[in-house]
Amino acid sequence: MSQNTQQLMLFCTAVVLFVTACLYGQQNVRVLSDALNHLVKTTAEMEGRLNTTLRISEPTSYSGAEVIHTVRQMTGTTVSVEVDGNAYVIDPLVNRRGTVPVQLATSYRPEFIRSEAGELLKIAFWKEASTP
């Protein structure tokens, strides 16, 4: 068998495999599209009977150490951090000894301020009253 004949057979085999893969991919897309359309139809028919259980759990209190860690981690982002109404920015690369005046054993209540789109804009920490 000549060299040209072998190359022609390999090329034809590659073309057949490529076309087969394309048809298989098109069939998979069609099956997924039909499944999604069926899911949308079923969900629309169940209107009023669905109850979502997704809840975002936010911690109810942070320790002072967690507040300091959060301030350090949020530096350099667009999210500002406030502690008892005062904004703090500590860049650990510039000032490794910079601190935030918090009491490590005190609990702080976080308040997450978000935009209408749900983007986090600011985190405010407020010192909780201690009980004797």
Quick one: 66 and 121 in the same domain?
A: yes
> Total structural domains in the chain?
2
Decide if 36 is inside a domain.
Answer: yes
Give the tens place of pLDDT for each residue, 49-70: 655 565 566 557 888 888 878 7
Decide if 55 is inside a domain.
Answer: no
Quote the tokens at residue 65: 């150490």
Quick one: 71 and 123 in the same domain?
A: yes
Q: Which residue has the higher pLDDT, 32 or 102?
A: 32
Provide the domain limits for residue 80: 62-127
Quick one: 76 and 45 in the same domain?
A: no
pLDDT of residue 95: 63
Given a contact cutoff of 8 angstroms between Cβ atoms, the answer to whether 83 and 90 are in contact is no
Q: Which residue has the higher pLDDT, 114 or 94?
A: 114
Q: Is the pLDDT of residue 10 over 90?
A: yes
What is the average pLDDT score of the chain?
A: 80
pLDDT of residue 23: 96
pLDDT of residue 128: 82
First-to-last alpha carbon distance for the chain, in angstroms, is 96
Decide if 19 is inside a domain.
Answer: yes
Q: Which residue has the higher pLDDT, 74 or 36?
A: 36
Quick one: 11 and 31 in the same domain?
A: yes
Decide if 132 is inside a domain.
Answer: no
Decide if 46 is inside a domain.
Answer: yes
Given a contact cutoff of 8 angstroms between Cβ atoms, the answer to whether 62 and 82 are in contact is no
Quick one: 67 and 122 in the same domain?
A: yes
Decide if 43 is inside a domain.
Answer: yes
Given a contact cutoff of 8 angstroms between Cβ atoms, the answer to whether 116 and 128 are in contact is no
- Neighbouring CB atoms inside 10 A of 102's CB total 21
Quote the tokens at residue 31: 């099956």
Decide if 122 is inside a domain.
Answer: yes
Q: 34 pLDDT band (50/70/90 cuts)?
A: very high
DSSP letters, 48-72, are TS----------S-EEHHHHHHHHH
Q: Is the pLDDT of residue 109 over 60?
A: yes
Quick one: 22 and 68 in the same domain?
A: no
Nearest to 121 by CA among 92, 83, 69, 81: 81
Q: 17 pLDDT band (50/70/90 cuts)?
A: very high
Quick one: 87 and 110 in the same domain?
A: yes
Given a contact cutoff of 8 angstroms between Cβ atoms, the answer to whether 84 and 126 are in contact is yes
Quick one: 122 and 79 in the same domain?
A: yes
Decide if 6 is inside a domain.
Answer: yes
